[in-house]
Amino acid sequence: MNNAVSAGQALNPDTEQALAAQVRAAAAEGRRLAIRGGGSKGFYGNAVAADAALDCNAHTGVVAYEPTELAITVRGGTRLAAVEALLAEHGQQLPFEPPHFGPAPGESTATIGGVVAAGLSGPRRPYAASVRDAVLGVRLLNGKGEVLAFGGRVMKNVAGYDVSRLMAGSLGVLGVLLEVSLKVIPRPPDTLTLVREVTLAEALDLLRHWSRQALPITATAWLDGRLHVRVDGGEEALAETRRIVEGLPLEAAEAFWRDLREQRLGFFAGDAPLWRLSLPPATPATATADLGAGASLVEWGAALRWLRGELPAARVRALAQAAGGHATLFRGGGGGAPADGVFTPLAAVPLRLHRNLKRAFDPQGILNPGRLYPDL
């Protein structure tokens, strides 16, 4: 594999040692650390009760990238935008279409370490891969300041128990991501978005019907009585899919999916709390009707449902659990987080496993304490 370093990202050999030294000093002094990258996902998760920040923004650079291997290895502080630009030069992209959540349109401070730690995927997730699916390997700092490596840099090197994928969605409570190796995929030759005016119930029926066919669908979203369906592929594939899906082509489709991914659509405007429900796609449209949500948006073939409004946390969680899923208070608005955190509390056995993992990676509990669950 060839080493490739993009402009402005020359590898600094001292940053890893500096981060390790800071973690070791904090462990020796019993100080808790809040891991800091670009800050784009700072709203997500629970508040961290820390004594100091561990700034990872200087730990940047592309460690290895050979396009024919369909994999890239970068340091955790590397900007997501820089990685996407490099991949685009070679006709490739990340399969999970991660959100940036920049401070303003066109601006992005998101880092690769933050992308993996947050574990958030975009519209392509159910049709290509999640963040966790794309992780091939990691190097990380544990809570004792030790450098650990798991997995590999290319798909053929991944074997054994895949500890590296535990880092996806862990929000930094297990370690500081120094390097991440990710799968990449080719960019599609062409893309088309079709729109149909249907009720949510009708949309769910259509999505279930299409899921049983080999259609090149790469994103779906139902909002305000309109079902948006994105398909990728060659000219013949798009023509055949358009015949089956029907609907009208959407102008400025790229902007629509980008604004959906970055939560810049009108649905996301305002201060009302935003709930994220992960549910089985077959969950009926009426399941959330009695919650009194001000608005709803459905993605991922009906597996991801967003609700806006001052909704009772216990009822939202109970509904999601009864359907076989879970609920997260994604953005809390002005009301603050529930006392037991923004994520659905774990049952006894999963909680014990999480605690054991935390003790194994971070014995003193100094890394991002409380970010994932209040008592971790």
Is there a single domain that holds both residue 249 and residue 170?
no
Beta carbons within 10 angstroms of residue 5's beta carbon:
16
Residue 180 lies in a domain: yes
Is there a single domain that holds both residue 235 and residue 158?
no
Is there a single domain that holds both residue 25 and residue 164?
yes
At 336, is the pLDDT very low, low, confident or very high (cuts 50, 70, 90)?
Answer: confident
Residue 147 lies in a domain: yes
At 359, is the pLDDT very low, low, confident or very high (cuts 50, 70, 90)?
Answer: very high
- Of 186, 213, 235, at which residue does a domain stop? 186
Is there a single domain that holds both residue 53 and residue 67?
yes
Is there a single domain that holds both residue 209 and residue 106?
no
Residue 19 lies in a domain: yes
pLDDT of residue 105: 75
Model pLDDT for residues 294-305, shown as the tens digit of each residue? 889 999 999 999
Is there a single domain that holds both residue 71 and residue 172?
yes
User: What CATH number is associated with residue 297?
Assistant: 3.30.70
Is there a single domain that holds both residue 200 and residue 109?
no
Residue 373 lies in a domain: no
Residue in 116, 44, 48 with CA at minimum distance from that of residue 76: 116
Residue 8 lies in a domain: no
For residues 73-84, average pLDDT: 97
**Residues 184 and 71 sit within 8 Å (Cβ to Cβ):** yes
Model pLDDT for residues 319-331, shown as the tens digit of each residue? 999 999 999 999 9
Residue 29 lies in a domain: yes
Report how far residue 51's alpha carbon sits from residue 33's, in angstroms, rounded to the nearest whole number.
Answer: 6
pLDDT at position 2 over 50: no
At 293, is the pLDDT very low, low, confident or very high (cuts 50, 70, 90)?
Answer: confident
Is there a single domain that holds both residue 46 and residue 76?
yes
Model pLDDT for residues 203-254, shown as the tens digit of each residue? 999 999 999 999 999 999 999 999 999 999 999 999 999 999 999 999 999 9
For 281, the domain range is: 272-331
Out of 10-19, 34-43, 215-224, 279-288, least confident range? 10-19
User: What CATH number is associated with residue 109?
Assistant: 3.30.465.10
For residues 274-286, average pLDDT: 94
Is there a single domain that holds both residue 81 and residue 113?
yes
Tokens, residue 199: 């009720």
- Of 202, 226, 261, at which residue does a domain stop? 261
For residues 353-361, average pLDDT: 96
Residue 277 β-bridge partners = 305, 327
For residues 264-289, average pLDDT: 93
Is there a single domain that holds both residue 118 and residue 222?
no
- Of 205, 235, 261, at which residue does a domain stop? 261
Residue 6 lies in a domain: no
As a three-state string, the secondary structure of 187-250 is: CCCCEEEEEEECCHHHHHHHHHHHHCCCCCEEEEEEECCEEEEEEECCHHHHHHHHHHHCCEEC
At 3, is the pLDDT very low, low, confident or very high (cuts 50, 70, 90)?
Answer: very low
Out of 83-97, 155-169, 284-298, least confident range? 155-169
pLDDT of residue 7: 32
Is there a single domain that holds both residue 211 and residue 300?
no
At 6, is the pLDDT very low, low, confident or very high (cuts 50, 70, 90)?
Answer: very low
Is there a single domain that holds both residue 30 and residue 166?
yes
pLDDT of residue 166: 95
DSSP 3-state of 375 = coil
Tokens, residue 337: 């987080």
pLDDT of residue 4: 46
Tokens, residue 67: 């396009």
Residue 155 lies in a domain: yes
**Structural domain count, the chain:** 3
